Structure 1
């Protein structure tokens, strides 16, 4: 019986640790082309707000409101830990915090300064002190700047379902 148990353990190890092959899906021409790279879901057809128009979209929103939309803007900064969020510029030195639906995809960490087209849901949210400090840390802020963050504040938010990174 002792040898039978040893045989079962060895047999389980040999056949239980087989390599699982996953098929890499190649992007279609619509998903990735020389002019852009797609992260998340493909974008739908429709109106794309310019960066200058986006300021008015957020000016019309109140906390608790949301609006499904798509817009084009320049990336100001990206999470340097994973690429799990980005901040894009608005007119008048404002910005929009863009996060990705269900933490389902990330963007490259080196796209600051590039233009993106983002589709999803725009809203105004209250961000507490702990979250603001966490975001500053992810962005690579110094300890002295992080220590200066106090209290919560309302900010422009966006939950993206898809992002086109223009080349």
Structure 2
């Protein structure tokens, strides 16, 4: 009987240790990202190619809730108040943050991110395009070349996860 109790205690101890390992591994995967804005997870994420296809099907005024992964092509160099994400095939999405509630680090270019929020199609005015170009550190000549509004794939992010 005593051996049975000792064996049971030993097996219970081993089981607890394995469960702790699983919890620790889950915590480590969550720690693999820097988090900005609302807390989001890396679950149910679509690829940048899938997101590009969704944008293609949107009309002006449409909005969809979505979470997708991509790379940062460019981030605002003054405050980190916007970023442009790669969608493949020379397309990108302009991302702003809900109520300017958070900003991205200024050195975030080329980092992998997951964004969660709302995607929509919009037209950006010449003045706004010039403002973004100035924020991005473009030259006066490059800014002066902006003379027409642009239809753009826009995204308002509630939360962002960024790989270090």
Normalised to the residue count of structure 2, the TM-score between the two structures is: 0.80
Tell me if 1:88 matches 2:85. yes
Identify the match of residue 137 of structure 2 among 137, 140, 145. 140
Q: How does 1:20-59 map to 2 (within 5 A)?
A: 34-43=31-40, 46-59=43-56
Structure 2 counterpart SS, 1:90: strand
Paired residues, what number?
Answer: 138
| Alpha-carbon shift at residue 45 of structure 1 (Å) | 6.8
Mean Cα deviation higher: 48-57 or 81-90:
48-57
More helix by share: 2
Mean Cα deviation higher: 38-47 or 140-149:
38-47
| Alpha-carbon shift at residue 46 of structure 1 (Å) | 4.6
Structure 2 counterpart SS, 1:137: helix
CA offsets per residue over residues 87-145 of structure 1, 9 Å max, x none? Answer: 01011100000000001100101111110000000000110000000000001111100
CA contact (8 A) 2:124 2:151 kept: yes
Give the gaps of 5 or more residues in structure 2.
1-25
Tell me the distance in 2 between the aligned counterparts of 1:46 and 1:66: 21
Structure 2 counterpart SS, 1:75: strand
| Alpha-carbon shift at residue 35 of structure 1 (Å) | 1.0
Tell me the distance in 1 between the aligned counterparts of 2:31 and 2:156: 26
Structure 1 counterpart SS, 2:49: helix
Give the gaps of 5 or more residues in structure 1.
1-28
Tell me the distance in 2 between the aligned counterparts of 1:47 and 1:36: 16
Query: What residue number does 1:116 align with?
Result: 113
Q: Quick one: structure 1 residues 44 and 113, their matched pair in 2 at CA, closer, same or farther if it must change by over 3 Å?
A: closer
Tell me the distance in 2 between the aligned counterparts of 1:92 and 1:45: 24
| Alpha-carbon shift at residue 166 of structure 1 (Å) | 1.1
Tell me the distance in 1 between the aligned counterparts of 2:55 and 2:144: 29
Mean Cα deviation higher: 38-47 or 90-99:
38-47
